[in-house]
Chain A
Amino acid sequence: MTINVENKNVAFASSFTTSSTSYVDLLDGPGGAVIDVTIVKTGGAADSNILVQCGACCVQNATTAVVTLGIHDGTTTFDAGRAENYQTAYGLILGAKLFTGLAAGSYTFKIRVKLSAGNQVNFNANHSGFITAMEVAA
């Protein structure tokens, strides 16, 4: 038995920094590429779903600040996971989202990120991110 899975791992080449309080694409460095994965869904809407998991480590540059990772399905960004830091600290954010009701076809999912007010996050050369998409039975 085999399972339809696509995965991308990224080691940030240089620091991607944002303070945006609305979702922006997570890039693998300044002006870099989006962190995305494309999967071809073989089953119909009633047959299968797509489970997407993502994560990234970073520096949260403020106290009691929140970093939220979202997953964008080509149309909408969905909250996937969030984490707060007690003080300026290195952080890890993990998330997941089950996408249901999708017809057969090709889908690209990408990681997005947003911050709480007054916060800044750096994804540096010593950090990494990943996104995995998996077709699972409905």
Chain B
Amino acid sequence: MSANALSTNAFPASTFSTSSLSYVDLLNGSGGAVISVSITKAAGTSLLVRASMSARQNAANATITLGVNDGTTDHYVAENRNFATCDVVLAGMTIISGLGAGTFTIKLRIKLDAANQCNFGVDHSAALMVMEIAP
């Protein structure tokens, strides 16, 4: 038996930059597409989401937070704080419960802390996996 699951990768051809302190969509490059998957689920199940990305943090003592959005709500996945300007990898999982039957688009989102900037560019990548699981 197999589970209902989908996955996507992103390898931006240009740099998406943001300094937003609230969640914004992670785009596949400047003006690029939202990084998302659309999955159809039954009632009474949950979604297991695995998200990861590499990126550059352009400030010292700064934090990037990686999240996912289910069409309504942002869900925290992972965060990383750096000692100096550096490249980082963020990765984690979350379970989204309470969704009814239907098709849901899950997308990657990020936010920064004050004075930080995130560059997601040509030398970085992201991955998103969504799997329907028992509640």
- Which residues of chain A are within 8 angstroms of B124 by Cβ–Cβ distance? 82-84
Q: Are A3 and B3 in contact (CB under 8 A)?
A: yes
- Closest CB of chain A to B94's CB: distance in Å? 16
Is the Cβ of A97 less than 8 Å from the Cβ of B9? yes
Q: Which of A49, A53, A86, A92 is in CB contact (< 8 Å) with B85?
A: A86
Cα A81 to Cα B90 in complex, Å, equals: 12
> Which residue in A4, A42, A66, A92 is a CB contact (below 8 Å) of B89?
A92
Q: In the complex, what distance in Å separates the CA atom of A93 from the CA atom of B124?
A: 10
Please tell me if the beta carbons of A94 and B127 are within 8 angstroms of each other in the complex.
yes
Q: How large is the interface on B (under 10, 10 to 19, 20 to 34, 35 or more residues)?
A: 20 to 34
User: A residues engaging B (CB < 8 A)?
Assistant: 1-4, 42-43, 47-49, 51, 53, 64, 66, 79-87, 89, 91-98, 116, 134-137
Query: Can you list 16 residue pairs at the A/B interface with Cβ under 8 Å?
Result: A1-B1, A3-B1, A3-B2, A51-B129, A79-B9, A81-B9, A82-B125, A83-B123, A83-B125, A84-B123, A86-B85, A95-B125, A97-B7, A98-B8, A136-B2, A137-B4
B residues lining the A interface (CB < 8 Å): 1-9, 11, 50, 52, 54, 56, 85-87, 89, 91, 121, 123-125, 127, 129, 131, 134
